[in-house]
């Protein structure tokens, strides 16, 4: 007798394996749904329907009832939403928090674990956005843009690190369009400022305050709107800066598809 035509490889002779097969053979539709979800971590509706030997409309109705009762979880909405067993979700959430904690210990001045790194650790594949969104909604983790952190985690800087940041930010404010390069802090501290939107890195040796960067971008866009083009020399003169900074800005805007280089001029992308 074929109990599950969609089964994955299972360990032989283990009591939990035998019990799972018994559920799939004689269990109720609710038990069968939970068994399938626990065996596969999560399933989309289109994957789950062929596994349950009752009409599709009945499966959908049953899933809705089980969600209300808290017997299964639904991540997202629509045909590509995920169904997941609470036990599996509990394990997944615990793994995510453990990964974040380990990252905080290893990198105490980084704002959090990068979303891509956490997704890879959880092996969430294309479902990463749904899973990370649910972790945030459950308050298991806090969203910091490109990274996630534990709710009780805070970056703690040493006195020397804080002084270095204060001196650097002061220099950015005093020389907004051509700040000194020798005061750029170490990579982790710089990334912290970037994540907090206090600074933006144009090249390895050119960092601007976010305020100055926004002003320069607005100025470039204003001239493009008025004249249709702008040159490196015009950017340099407009902001009383050097060729080095003007070039870094324009090459950055080329990469961001704000401008496009045509000969010695830039036009709107």
pLDDT tens column, 58-93: 888 999 999 999 999 999 988 788 999 999 999 999
pLDDT at 228: 95
pLDDT-based confidence at 218, cuts 50/70/90?
Answer: very high
pLDDT at 229: 96
pLDDT over 70 at 118, yes or no: yes
Range list for CATH 1.10.10.10 in the chain? 15-84, 159-268
Mean pLDDT score of the chain: 90
pLDDT at 155: 93
pLDDT at 26: 60
Strand partners, 149: 142
Using left for φ > 0, alpha for ψ between -120 and 50, and beta otherwise, residue 184 falls in beta
pLDDT at 50: 82
pLDDT at 207: 97
pLDDT over 80 at 13, yes or no: no
pLDDT over 90 at 99, yes or no: yes
pLDDT at 74: 95
CATH number of the 159-268 domain: 1.10.10.10
Integer-rounded Cα Rg, in Å, for the chain is 27
Mean pLDDT for the stretch of residues 142-170: 95
Residue with tokens 């710089």: 190
**What percentage of the chain reaches a pLDDT higher than 90?**
74
Contacts of 148 (CB under 8 A, 6+ apart): 96, 100, 112, 113, 115, 118, 132, 135, 136, 141, 142
| Residue 40 C-beta-side C-alpha neighbours within 13 Å | 19
CA distance 92 to 96: 6
CATH 1.10.10.10 given to domain 15-84: yes
Mean pLDDT for the stretch of residues 46-55: 82
Closest by alpha carbon to 191, among 83, 263, 117, 110? 110
CATH 1.10.10 given to domain 87-149: yes
Instruction: Indicate the burial class of 55 (C-beta count within 10 angstroms; 0-12, 13-18, 19 or more).
Output: exposed
Mean pLDDT for the stretch of residues 153-162: 94
Query: Which DSSP string do the residues of the chain spell out, in sequence order?
Result: --S-TTPPP--SS-HHHHHHHHHHHH--HHHHHHHHHHHHS-EEHHHHGGGSSS-HHHHHHHHHHHHHHTSSEEESSSTT-EEE-HHHHHHHHHHHHHHHHHHHHH-TTSSSEEHHHHHHHHT-GGGHHHHHHHHHHTTSSEE-SSEEE-TT------HHHHHHHHHHHHHHHHSTTS--STTPPPHHHHHHHHHTTSEEEEETTEEEEHHHHHHHHHHHHHHHHHHS-EEHHHHHHHTT--HHHHHHHHHHHHHTTSEEEETTEEEE-
Q: Evaluate whether 29 touches 62 at the Cβ level (below 8 Å).
A: yes
pLDDT over 80 at 14, yes or no: no
């Amino acid at each position: 007798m074929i109990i599950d035509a969609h089964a994955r490889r299972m360990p032989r002779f283990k009591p939990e394996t035998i019990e799972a097969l018994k559920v799939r053979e004689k269990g109720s539709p609710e038990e069968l749904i939970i068994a399938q979800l626990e065996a596969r971590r999560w399933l989309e509706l289109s994957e789950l329907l062929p596994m349950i030997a009752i009409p599709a409309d009945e499966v959908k109705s049953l899933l809705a009832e089980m969600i209300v009762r808290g017997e299964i979880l639904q991540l997202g909405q629509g045909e590509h939403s995920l169904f997941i067993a609470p036990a599996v979700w509990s394990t997944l959430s615990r793994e995510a928090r453990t990964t974040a904690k380990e990252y905080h210990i290893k990198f105490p001045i980084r704002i959090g674990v990068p979303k891509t790194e956490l997704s890879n650790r959880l092996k969430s594949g294309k479902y990463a956005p749904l899973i990370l969104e649910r972790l945030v909604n459950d308050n298991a983790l806090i969203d910091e843009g490109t990274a996630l952190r534990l709710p009780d985690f805070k970056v703690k800087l040493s006195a020397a690190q804080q002084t270095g940041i204060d001196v650097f930010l002061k220099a950015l404010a005093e020389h907004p369009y051509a700040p000194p390069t020798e005061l750029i802090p170490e990579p982790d501290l710089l990334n912290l400022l970037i994540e907090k939107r206090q600074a933006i890195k144009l090249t390895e040796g050119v960092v601007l305050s976010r305020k100055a960067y926004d002003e320069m971008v607005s100025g470039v866009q204003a001239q493009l709107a008025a004249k249709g083009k702008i040159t490196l020399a015009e950017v340099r003169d407009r902001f009383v800066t050097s060729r080095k900074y003007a070039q870094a800005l324009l090459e950055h805007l080329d990469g961001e598809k704000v401008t496009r280089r045509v000969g010695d001029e830039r036009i709107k992308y």
